[in-house]
Amino acid sequence: MKKSVANRYRLFISSVQKELAAERRAVKDYILHDPLLSRFISDVFLFEDIPAGDRKPDDIYLSEVEQCDIYLAILGNEYGWKNEDGKSPTELEFEHATKTHRERLVFVKGNDDEAREPDMAKLVGRAGRQVTRRRFSDIPGLIREVYASLVECLENRGALRSTASISMERKSASPLHPSNLMREDCSK
């Protein structure tokens, strides 16, 4: 991934690939085909979309996290494969997004925390102490949560203006707006 140009952002999707393959693909496809989001998000990284190559997988995904603007985690029940330090790619990606100050959006599948593997339950808990996370039960629910979160993210970055802020700008630009009338009255 290359760095973003003005108001075009790059998004990295992190999760256990095997368990959440359908959710990962659905989120990427939705973002890239949504008339609004696709105007602002130029690239969505999924590890499974890259070709085979002579690079270590962890070098690739950590580099991609570093180059993204928005890190989006989808956490389920499975923790995934562990490296020699006992950490999964998903946890390493979350840690790297935190360390490199990426905007982090976290979505948790299901409400049964007892069904999660112990290491995933710990990761869900740790993420919940650092960011506001959203739960979902199915792909349409995930898409709704992702859409709302990305719109807010884009508003916070100044890429999108909410109708409330546009309305306030219009009112304050009006010569009849109370703050403008008061300025005129004070100058007399």
Q: Please give the structure tokens belonging to residue 3.
A: 């760095």
Burial class (CB within 10 angstroms; exposed 0-12, middle 13-18, buried 19+) of 13: buried
> Averaged over 178-184, what is the pLDDT?
45
pLDDT surpassing 70 at residue 48: yes
Confidence of residue 185 (pLDDT cuts 50, 70, 90): very low
For the chain, what are the domain ranges? 9-157, 162-188
Mean pLDDT for all residues in the chain: 87
pTM of the predicted model, to two decimals?
Answer: 0.82
Q: Are 14 and 66 in contact (CB under 8 A)?
A: no
What's the pLDDT tens digit per position in 49-101? 888 888 888 888 898 999 999 999 999 999 999 999 999 999 999 999 999 99
The CATH number of the domain covering residues in 9-157: 3.40.50.450
Q: What pLDDT, on a 0 to 100 scale, did the predictor assign at position 186?
A: 46
**Separation between Cα atoms, residue 33 and residue 181, nearest integer Å:** 46
What's the pLDDT tens digit per position in 127-161? 999 999 999 999 999 999 999 999 999 999 999 88
Q: What pLDDT, on a 0 to 100 scale, did the predictor assign at position 157?
A: 93
**In terms of pLDDT, which residue wins out, 171 or 3?**
171
At a CB cut-off of 8 Å and minimum separation 6, what does 93 contact?
12, 14, 61, 62, 65, 71, 73
